[in-house]
Amino acid sequence: VRLNLDSSPDLSRLKVYPLRFLPAALGSPDNEILVQFSNPGSLTSSFSIHMPNEREVEVPHWADEGEPTVAQIKENHIIDELRCFHVQPRSGVLKPHESVALHLTYNYSNLEYDGKHDLRILCKIINGKQFWLRLEGTTLPPYVPYLYRPQHPDCSAQMLFPVALGTTKSQTPLQMTELINLGSADLFFHVDTEALNEGEEKGGELSMEEAEGVIRP
């Protein structure tokens, strides 16, 4: 709380929320994510969105800011040249119990930086919190496959539902994970089942229905 009340807070200490756009091939339709801002209070509030290269105070021409870092150069290039991220609206007023949808758009128009683009935008709630949204987009080259599995941003493990001790094989539920080919060419996959065999030796039993196959675009 104290951080947000400071007149010049250390922005590096603000919380960062990652937002990942689905990867897609060059020239694919734009992808959009909606983030809702709500005012549950009894007073009117407002918000504003800022790019990392924006300044609240003009720096005098004689001031020495030093050389920009590699990360800053990339950031400025993504903002000013590639323009692959769009944010609307950039500001607004919320009356009590009002909401607004923030439209975050990524376009698959450029393969610079190996098609991997990221941008942090600063969200300011007047008399409230400040935080970063880290936008992450990936543009794929044409005619290549790309394996994607929906998962939580902070966990790559495949969580299985618990099964009661003594459940027979015929009664064991089928548990699924989704594999998606977001590329524009056929994807051939093969799952190494050696670890499953090791689990059986330790008293468990886990089998796989489809350990290999082809996923169309």
Which tens digit of pLDDT belongs to each residue from 14-24? 899 999 999 99
Task: Give the CATH fold of the 2-140 domain.
Answer: Immunoglobulin-like (2.60.40)
- Going from N- to C-terminal start, the domains of the chain cover 2-140, 143-217
Q: What gap in Å lies between CA 144 and CA 187, rounded to an integer?
A: 8
Q: Where are the alpha helices (DSSP H) in 6-154?
A: 70-77
Identify the burial level of 156 via C-beta atoms within 10 angstroms of its C-beta, where 0-12 means exposed, 13-18 middle and 19 or more buried: exposed
pLDDT score of 171: 83
Q: Are 99 and 37 in contact (CB under 8 A)?
A: yes
> Is the pLDDT at 158 greater than 90, yes or no?
no
pLDDT digits (tens, 9 = 90+) for 63-93: 556 688 898 899 999 999 999 999 999 999 9
What's the pLDDT band for 1 if we cut at 50, 70, 90? very low
- Which pLDDT score is estimated for 215? 95
Does residue 195 sit in helix, strand or coil?
A: helix
Whether the pLDDT of residue 57 is over 50: the answer is: no
Residue 122 has pLDDT above 70, yes or no: yes
CA quadruple 194, 195, 200, 205: dihedral positive or negative?
negative
| Confidence bin at 54 (pLDDT 50/70/90) | confident
Question: Residue 59: pLDDT above 90?
Answer: no
